[in-house]
């Protein structure tokens, strides 16, 4: 009889056990919209529900009193990397990002765990959990419980709870015409994850990907208290175009993105030029491409990079022009050296134009 993995210690690559990885696992935005089309809006029936499902925002927000509101979210996915500790760190960072994107401060998390118990050694699963716990400790919160199941594919994430002042909630739908768009992290995590699966990512590229995906979006909580910050979201599975389009649609404005000002992780443009990117890029474009105009002078790799699913991506902020320096200063004080201004919003149809 052959020894089981839990007995022998042999472990398959985590990414070999899943059909997708990270935020590339998300249901395509067009399909998701169709699935939710018949959902009943809840904010009218529950007046203390400040943010529900109406604008595809990052988390639910429920007002407790005049000084406090609860931010509640959940996020989980299959492995984007093979190192179990890094997988746990990335998934936890990604889940907490939704709290920061609402302007909230996390206070606790619950672990969501689905693992093929008879396939993965138990110490590998324990490393996934430890990665999530260490990220939560860095955020100053406990993993206070959770739920686990025996699953065909490995799945890990968090249900995250945070708090925010009701007047400081930052929605993705409250941008103003004239606002400047600020992006906190470089793009390209999905491309690098595709390169990893193909055994084409070197150690430096891997470290760059993990460093970006495990950087907590802590500026969000500080940006909540800054007048002139009108809207905020994080760039994840729908790519930069998809999440910028959510801001544009929510406010009924046109977003103008400057391709030349976008920050990218090292090597991603060359990988895309060589045909290395995720299938989610095509699904994203099919879902919302009709609401996007790509300039004729953009490089051939632009569409794949702009639709690249970001796992634990950066905050996308819409702020008044006079507040840009303050927003950039908050990001840089938190160690976000790649923060960039990438465009602006103007009156016009709800779409994204990239030049």
By annotation, the residues acting in catalysis are 23
Measured distance CA(250)–CA(252) in Å, rounded: 6
Q: Which residues on neighbouring strands pair with residue 110, listed in sequence order? A: 159
Measured distance CA(270)–CA(276) in Å, rounded: 9
Pairing of strands 340-347, 229-234: unpaired
List strand residue ranges (DSSP E) for the chain, in order. Answer: 49-51, 60-63, 69-77, 105-115, 143-150, 155-164, 180-183, 229-234, 253-257, 292-294, 315-319, 340-347, 351-354
Burial of 112 (0-12, 13-18, 19+ CB in 10 A): buried
First to last CA, the chain: 62
Please answer whether residues 112 and 158 qualify as being in contact, where contact means their C-beta atoms are separated by less than 8 angstroms: yes
* Backbone torsions φ then ψ of 204, nearest 5 degrees: -65, -40
- Count CA within 13 A, CB hemisphere, residue 302: 20
Measured distance CA(17)–CA(155) in Å, rounded: 10
Largest CA distance in the chain: 70
**Which residue, among 20, 168, 179, has the nearest Cα to 101 in the 3D structure?**
168
Measured distance CA(1)–CA(324) in Å, rounded: 65
Secondary structure (DSSP) of 99-117: HHHTT-EEEEEEEEEEE-T
Measured distance CA(175)–CA(193) in Å, rounded: 32
Measured distance CA(131)–CA(90) in Å, rounded: 8
């Amino acid at each position: 009889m052959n020894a089981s993995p839990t007995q022998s210690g042999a472990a398959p690559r985590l990414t070999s056990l899943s059909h997708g990885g990270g935020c590339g696992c998300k249901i395509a935005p067009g399909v998701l919209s169709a699935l939710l089309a018949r959902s009943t809006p809840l904010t009218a029936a529950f007046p203390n529900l400040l943010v529900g499902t109406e604008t595809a925002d990052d988390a639910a927000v429920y007002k407790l009193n005049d000084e406090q509101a609860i931010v509640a979210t959940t996020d989980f996915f299959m492995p984007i990397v093979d190192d179990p500790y890094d997988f746990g760190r990335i998934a936890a960072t990604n889940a907490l990002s939704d709290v920061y994107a609402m302007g909230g401060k996390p206070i606790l998390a619950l672990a969501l765990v689905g693992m093929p118990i008879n396939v993965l050694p138990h110490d590998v699963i324990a490393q996934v959990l430890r990665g999530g716990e260490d990220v939560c400790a860095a955020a100053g919160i406990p993993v206070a419980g959770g739920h686990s199941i025996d699953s065909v594919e490995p799945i890990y994430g968090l249900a995250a709870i945070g708090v925010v002042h009701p007047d400081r909630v930052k929605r993705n739908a409250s941008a103003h015409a004239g606002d400047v768009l600020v992006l906190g992290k470089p793009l390209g995590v999905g491309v690098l994850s595709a390169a990893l699966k193909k055994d084409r990512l070197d150690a430096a590229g891997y470290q760059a990907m993990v460093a970006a995906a495990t950087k907590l979006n802590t500026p969000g909580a500080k940006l909540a208290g800054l007048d002139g910050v009108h809207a905020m979201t994080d760039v994840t599975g729908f790519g930069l175009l998809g999440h910028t389009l959510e801001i544009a649609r929510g406010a009924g404005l046109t977003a103008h993105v400057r391709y030349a000002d976008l920050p990218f992780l090292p090597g991603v443009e060359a990988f895309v030029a060589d045909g290395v990117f995720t299938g989610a890029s095509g699904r994203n474009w099919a879902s919302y491409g009709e609401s996007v105009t790509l300039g004729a002078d953009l490089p051939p790799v632009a569409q794949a990079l702009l639709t690249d699913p970001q796992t634990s991506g950066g905050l996308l902020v819409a702020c008044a022009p006079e507040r840009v320096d303050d927003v950039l200063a908050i990001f840089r004080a938190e160690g976000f050296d790649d923060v960039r201004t990438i465009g602006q919003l103007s009156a016009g149809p709800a779409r994204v134009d990239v030049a």
